[in-house]
Structure 1
Amino acid sequence: MSAARRLHSFSSQILAANRCGAMAEPGSPLTTHVLNTAIGVPGSNMTILLYKQDSSAAVWNLITKGVTNADGRCPGLITRELFTTGVYKLHFDTAKYWGSLGEDSFYPYVEIVFTISNPAEKFHIPLLLSRFSYSTYRGS
């Protein structure tokens, strides 16, 4: 089996088992929380994709796909074993989210790119969102 085919097979296994909580232990090293600051509620039912950048090129490999729960959280994004040093990207499908509320949005998606140099630490990356703005920070 070619290296590319093995990588695709491995990625497919990760995605099939890791749908925001299905595979990761309760103490996931990476968490996120979406807050709709326009109306003061959690950003529930928002699709989130987690990617990791390939170290040899500017290629993004999809690690996890999930949907936020009623509290705007997507627990279990990644297991401690899969969480290694590197550059990651969280992709939030904001257009679909706002559309489900009968609204449109200036930003069709939000991507947060961040570097992990010590995967033993815990990382929390919230997204504060309105139709025409967003902000993020590294939380605890």
Structure 2
Amino acid sequence: MKNLFAGLVVAALAAGPVAAQEAVITYDTDQSFDDVIFGLENAILDEGLVVDHISHTGDMLERTRADLGSDVVLFEQADIYSFCSAQLSREVMEADPMNIVYCPYHIFVMVRPESPDTTTVGFRSFPEGEMKKIEALLDGIARSAVGLE
């Protein structure tokens, strides 16, 4: 029994990082960060949605970099937009109330120091099933932000 338990613990630990790795869907553009942000905000509004929060992640990481003893500049600019769709959220949560874990939805925009002329917009992919509706929504918004739709 002890060996079975130990085997289950090892299997769970080994599966943990694999399960935690989620695919990220991104689109690169030569548009400026500000232009992509403008496009993203408009694309969200065009869907009839409201931005709940903008996390200025790049600013926070840069502001705290020296205090944390790092000399690595991760982003030239990076923001994360959070928002929700009452209609789609209800649909996916009626299918499975545990889909609450994905709400609100996030789209990031970033510029990396090693490619300052490239702005990336993206979001994480979602599991098969009802959450693919949310992924399609985010994909349309991200593509619109960079002029692909």
TM-score (norm 1): 0.35
Q: Which has the higher helix share?
A: 2
Q: Which has the larger radius of gyration?
A: 2
TM-score (norm 2): 0.33
Q: Which has the higher strand share?
A: 1
